[in-house]
Structures are given as C-alpha cells and as structure tokens.
Amino acid sequence: MASKQFEKRGDGLLVRAPGKINLSLLVKGKRPDGYHELETIMAKIDWYDEILIEKLNEKVKRNPRLLHAGTGKEKGKSKEKPDIELICKGPYKVPEGKDNLVYKAAKLILDSAGQAPPYNSTGWKPVPRIRITLTKNIPAGTGLGAGSSDAAGTLMGINRFLKLGLSKKKLMELAAKLGSDVAFFLGGPLAMCTGRGEKVKKIDKCEFGVLLIVPNVNVSTQRVYANYRHNSAKYERLHKEINGHIKKKRIDLVCELCANMLQESCFELNTKLRELKKRIERAGIRPLCLSGSGSAMYCIIDKSNEEKIVTYKNKLAREFGCKSIILNNNSW
C-alpha cells in the first residue's frame, strides 16, 4: 500500500517529504539576476524524509509590529522561549539550527500567520509553540531535492496542523522565498519546472520503477552551477526533442535520453563520480542518469524482471560499494 503524505501520529501530525529525480534537466542560459534559466522534468519518488509536528504546552503571543526581524522575539523580551523547537535524527546528519530549511519554513509560515488577521482585542495573535522532529532518511548533496521537499512538507504540515487556512497561492509565495525547487513539492507528482525551477506546470502522472544509486559523495549545487559552461546548440536540440515527446505523452522516451546539461560540470568537479558511472554502465546497468546536480544516479527499470534487478543491486554493493534502492514513482 502506498504511503500517505499526512498521517495523525498521537497528538501530532506526521508529514512525509518525498525525494525527486530529474527525468531531464536543460539549461537555457544565464539570467540577468545571475541564476540559470532551467527546463526540467521532475518526478517524485517513494523515498521519504519524515517531519513530525507537535504542539508544546505554552503559546507565544506574537505582535508583528514588535517582532525583531528574523528572531521571532519581541523587543525587550530576549529571554522568551523560541516558538520553534527543531530536533533532527535519522541516518543522515543535518544542522538543527536556524540554517535548516525546515526551521526557516516553519518560522516563515508562523510569521505569516502571526501577521494575518484576526488579532484579539489587544492586537495579539497567540500561536502555539511547536516541536518539529525531522527524520533524515535522504542524504543532502545528492540531487534528490530532500531539503526543498522538507521545506514544502513543513509549510503544508503546519498549515494543516494549526488550521491556519493559508491558500495554495500563499504557500507558493512562501515557497519561492525558501528555494527554487520548493514550489514543485507543493504539487506534483510529475511536472515541468521552468524559470529558476519555481514555475511549475503539472504533467500527467506516469508509472515507472527506478534503481536509485546513492554514492557516498556530496555535491555542491552552487559549485556545479558556477562551473557550468553553456552549450546553446545542445540546449536547442534537446529542447525540441523533449517537447516533442511531451506532446505525444511519451515520458518514457524522455527518460531514455538521460538529458542532464549539468552532468559534465558535475563530473569535472567530481572525476571519481564520472569513473564510477562508467564502471557501473560497463557492468550492464544502463542508461544511467544523473539526478539534478548530482551525486545520485538512477536507471529506469522494468520491475517485472525483479530477479535481474536484485542481481544488479547486489552487484552494486559487492563490486562498487554503492548504496542502491529499488523505488517507484510517487503517487502524490
């Protein structure tokens, strides 16, 4: 049975935040604002971080006119307890402080709710203190979008859990302040994302299985983009081919292209990753595609041949020391 995104857990709400893979990733060019203009088809996969949202006993009275910017504290009230308690656990470590995207998303939506009417008679709007427990199952720096998904899950989860009533449009506005990929995770499960990645156009869902390979390598997205050299002819060729497949609703043919214009930049910075991809493909696992800016790679598979897939999975562990997981497209 497929997992649900939201699930009551005691007095709290459990939110599942899925990873994603890029079925294609084209770079149209560099924008005047310094960002790169993208065209990418992103698909959610059924591998999840988990976010548990719970109320703490005390409420924080938030007067938006008296809040210190970025602190959540009133002027002259520096000893007040923070309104967000973040706990991180799981196999992969992430910072628990204010730099965590989950914390940033929680603070952003609570501040937004605190600035929205109605206030009570004194101009205060009480907002519960909350504890968020993030269980990190998906590693960062792998091109699987887990941080962005965690942020989106936090926005949706707090909105639902505290019954804030913020619209999808408002959540999208908040998502844009957190990161380029966050908006995709508010919808999906399959979409064409353009601009910096924040413009999302839903595509009809398609079913697929994937053998996901997660090397023990963290890739800096910022460095990959900084190292990228644009090839306009390659963009035009792939743009035409991919859009032709989309019009025919042949996402399977898009997958076969393994079109990722960030791949060369990633492999220039991570030569061992390039060599690993070549070795795995020589072992018969192909075509092998890079997700996002890396380091995770995947191969679309036919799950009817499970015995062969398990053989490949065992080979990856034995010969290459690689973690691999058999996954499906996510249903929501």
User: Where in the chain do CATH 3.30.70.890 domains reside?
Assistant: 209-328
Name the residues annotated as catalytic: 20, 181
Structurally, at CATH architecture level, domain 6-202 sits in 2-Layer Sandwich (3.30)
Tell me the percentage of the chain whose pLDDT exceeds 70. 88
* DSSP bridge pairs for 127: 60
Specify the CATH class of 209-328 in words.
alpha beta
pLDDT digits over 42-58, tens only? 999 999 999 999 999 76
pLDDT digits over 14-34, tens only? 999 999 999 999 999 999 999
Strands 209-214 and 125-135 come out as unpaired
pLDDT digits over 92-124, tens only? 999 988 999 999 999 999 998 875 544 444 555
Could you give the CA distance from residue 238 to residue 260 in angstroms, rounded to a whole number? 10
Token look-up 């792998």 returns 142
Percentages (nearest 5) of helix, strand, coil residues in the chain: 35, 30, 35
User: Where in the chain do CATH 3.30.230.10 domains reside?
Assistant: 6-202
* DSSP bridge pairs for 119: none
Give the pair of three-digit tokens for residue 223: 């460095």
pLDDT digits over 123-133, tens only? 555 678 899 99
Q: What is the mean pLDDT of the chain?
A: 90
What pTM value is reported for the model? Answer: 0.90
